[in-house]
Structure 1
Amino acid sequence: MFPCTQIILCRVEKGPLNCSEELAAVEGWEPLTHPEGALFFYRSRKRIFTDADVRDPAISLEINKAVEMAYEGARKAKIVLGPSVELALELIAEANKKNWGYYFVDHDRRVIFWFEDYESPHLMNNVRGVERKSHIKYALDSQYWRHIELFPNKRILPEDIVVTLKEIVMHAHTENITSETCLAPFASSEVASMLGLVDHLKGSTNKEREHSVWIAARSMRLFCNAKFVNFCGQPGARLDVDQSLYGEHDTRLNKIILRIMNVILFGSPVAQSKAIHRIWVDETIVQPRWKDFIDRMITEWNGYTIFSTVMLAVDISFLAVPAMATQTAAIALTYLSCLCALGSLVVSLVLAGQVNDSRRGSAADVASFMVGILQSMFGLESLALMLSLPFALLIWGMAFFAGALSTLIFRTSSVVVISIASPIWVAVFVLAMWPVLTANNIHISRLRSWIIEQASSQAVEPIFGV
């Protein structure tokens, strides 16, 4: 029943709805619906796919000419088109000008091709150093499965593809379990889910089920692209996700200003830089690690906001202490502590707000963001410095508060109180510095050994007499 309303949204004819006229083939072009909802057309006589609306008479006329040009180009290039070859056409509109893009698909070899030499940075996926045909084949394999992914209708799911896909997924799952440098483009939990999904594809083999075909094609495309990016089967292939094929990155902060900032920020930039270079290898994003990295950073930022808020409350309460009224140095240090805590709070909130869905989305979005960071003065180190700010500012806030508290104690307390507080203050300072020194590989035992070596070298100096 329809609700009683004055607004008429649509008119449904009486009787059973008949869509046969809209779904009927137009001059041999059969309309099909992609599993994701897109409309495209298929001509079975020559096995041609297109997403252009051929029901438009003008487009229908243009696409027929494009088909003739494509087959004529293949004939002139002396390319034999077997019965398994398909043709895909795309209407490209640029600056009030329309062109037709094309490619052929060979299902026997599972590869795409053109009737002329083809160069495209998109095909190479920004991978440098591609020279061998055996390497380029993985890029074409990935594009082949992209074609199947775009047009999964009117085709069966081969049994050997399901077997191959299951082998690949099982290998990726095992590698995720046994190695921390797995090359699989998915996280361990995602691969585990895919393994169960592939098992369900067995019931769709050798049948026309476009949803199953799409699932297999999407998975195969991503794995083939990973093989291409990692130079699979090539000399010097990448075997670990951390391995650089174009030379090791320099994780040391060589510039003087960066070294100074590293000291000022309590060594946090070095740690952040190492983490960033683990997710950005050869200008390629390691997607599973990026997701874990962002999740970890958000957790840390949430913690910093809590600590900064507490620090602000402590500082403001400390300023209300009556003894502080005459202690100018302590007041100044407390103000500095407030500013640092406030800075840590603001930076944490800003960074957390900037990590939106676009930067947690596809690898292409993340890579675009990282390339933008590379254009800054210090490159990726700028990102390391930025991510270090919440922690460093919070530590500085605590340090200034400790200074204010110490000033108040040593200037207003009696000798007895100072004599009791001094050794405790020294002990707390040493214990607080211990993890800092250890993190920078500075140990008391090494200092002791260095002193002994220096003393021994001076004691054994040669003596020359007459």
Structure 2
Amino acid sequence: MHFPNNWSLTTGVLAELEQMILHAVADSITSTTSVIPFDQEELAKMLELTDRLKAQSGAINESFPHGKCIVARFMENFALAKFFNFCGQPGARLNSDQSIFRKQKPRHSLFIQILSICLFCAPCDYAKELDGIWVDKVINRVLWKQFIVKLNNDWSSLALTATVVLNANVAFLALVNITLARTFSYISTMTSVGVVILGLILVRQNQRKDQNSAEQANVLLTRTSHPVFGTEALAIIYSLPYALLMWSMVFFVIAFACMVFGSATAVTQSAFSVAGGLGVHVRVLDGVDDTCCT
């Protein structure tokens, strides 16, 4: 007879599975870098199913093998997590962002450091997140799921903000006749359109795939990974909507400044200069402790 017909579902096995799930719940609650492959909502559902199986264990052993398959599948997932994290070994992985094969965190290449200056440090931020999700070529499904949800929300909000900037540029172009101001406004308009198009494409790509699947996530990261640059190319792609929106706003401010200094009164120019200086000063103070790709 084939599994699971030749295996009895005892109360000891169910108790062991219940303790596994309870330990996983406690670990996910007390640690933000848990190695558990399930989130708290999934663990709660697993615990509920285990409780129902305990109440029906006698009938399962007599007539139905389905409960045995449920228990075996749950235990298999926990066993695989222990295997990939070297559970019980001297160098076991205790945190999801802990590397077993290297002692130092990966340093980002000079290429992404230079490019991050032009893209407002966004590529380095995404590269750090990807490095924490895909440690030692092992994907953390929970962190990946949270990362994708955050990405989709960010891209949707960026596309919405880009439409506001786009409308502002259209109104600006209808009112201003200064050539230099119109030129920068045209550039701002095109970058806003780029944000909307790129954001929609990236969200669509994520929605077409099962982002809860660790296997598909691992395939994506493996395909986009480079022997030298790692996941930096993917980080740059993910950062483009934010960077384009920032450049769109920068060009719009420049266009507005050209209009102010080209036709406004001295009082208006002074007020604009003071407001702009305060904004730059606040941004500099906010970024004193933030350095790209550290």
TM-score by length of structure 1 reads 0.59
Report how far residue 249 of structure 1 moved: 6.3
Q: Deviations over 1:97-141 (max 9, x none)?
A: xxxxxxxxxxxxxxxxxxxxxxxxxxxxxxxxxxxxxxxxxxxxx
Partner of 2:78: 223
Partner of 1:393: 244
Partner of 2:211: 360
For the aligned residues, what is the CA RMSD? 1.9
Which amino acid letter does the alignment assign opposite residue 351 of structure 1?
L
Q: 2: distance between equivalents of 1:359 and 1:197?
A: 24
Q: 1: distance between equivalents of 2:39 and 2:170?
A: 45
Which amino acid letter does the alignment assign opposite residue 147 of structure 2?
F
Partner of 2:49: 197
1:178 aligns with 2:53: no
Q: 2: distance between equivalents of 1:434 and 1:344?
A: 27
Partner of residue 372 from structure 1, selected from 223, 239, 245 = 223
Partner of residue 165 from structure 2, selected from 264, 287, 311 = 311
Retained in 2: the 8 A contact 1:333–1:400? yes
Partner of 1:242: 97
Report how far residue 280 of structure 1 moved: 0.6
* Alignment map for 1:32-71 (pairs within 5 Å): 47=1, 49=2
* Alignment map for 1:422-433 (pairs within 5 Å): 422-433=273-284
* Alignment map for 1:254-403 (pairs within 5 Å): 254-255=109-110, 257-321=111-175, 324-325=176-177, 327-375=178-226, 378-403=229-254
Report how far residue 189 of structure 1 moved: 1.4
Q: Deviations over 1:173-199 (max 9, x none)?
A: 111111112121101111122122211
2:207 aligned counterpart, secondary structure = coil
TM-score by length of structure 2 reads 0.92
Retained in 1: the 8 A contact 2:109–2:229? no
The structure with the greater share of residues assigned to strand is 1
Retained in 2: the 8 A contact 1:301–1:390? yes
Rg bigger for which structure? Answer: 1
Which amino acid letter does the alignment assign opposite residue 290 of structure 1?
W
Q: Which has the higher contact order (CA 8 A, sep 6+)?
A: 2
Q: 2: distance between equivalents of 1:387 and 1:194?
A: 34
Q: 2: distance between equivalents of 1:373 and 1:249?
A: 23
1:439 aligned counterpart, secondary structure = coil
Report how far residue 331 of structure 1 moved: 1.2
Q: 1: distance between equivalents of 2:5 and 2:162?
A: 57
Q: 1: distance between equivalents of 2:210 and 2:74?
A: 22
Retained in 2: the 8 A contact 1:166–1:195? yes
The structure with the greater share of residues assigned to helix is 2
The gaps in structure 2 that reach 5 residues or longer are: none
Retained in 1: the 8 A contact 2:199–2:241? yes
1:239 aligned counterpart, secondary structure = coil
Report how far residue 421 of structure 1 moved: 2.6
Q: 2: distance between equivalents of 1:152 and 1:357?
A: 35
More deviation, 360-369/381-390? 360-369
Retained in 1: the 8 A contact 2:113–2:124? no
Q: 1: distance between equivalents of 2:125 and 2:100?
A: 23
Partner of 1:163: 15
Q: 2: distance between equivalents of 1:433 and 1:333?
A: 24
Which amino acid letter does the alignment assign opposite residue 238 of structure 1?
R
Report how far residue 359 of structure 1 moved: 4.3
Q: 2: distance between equivalents of 1:378 and 1:254?
A: 6
Retained in 1: the 8 A contact 2:191–2:248? yes
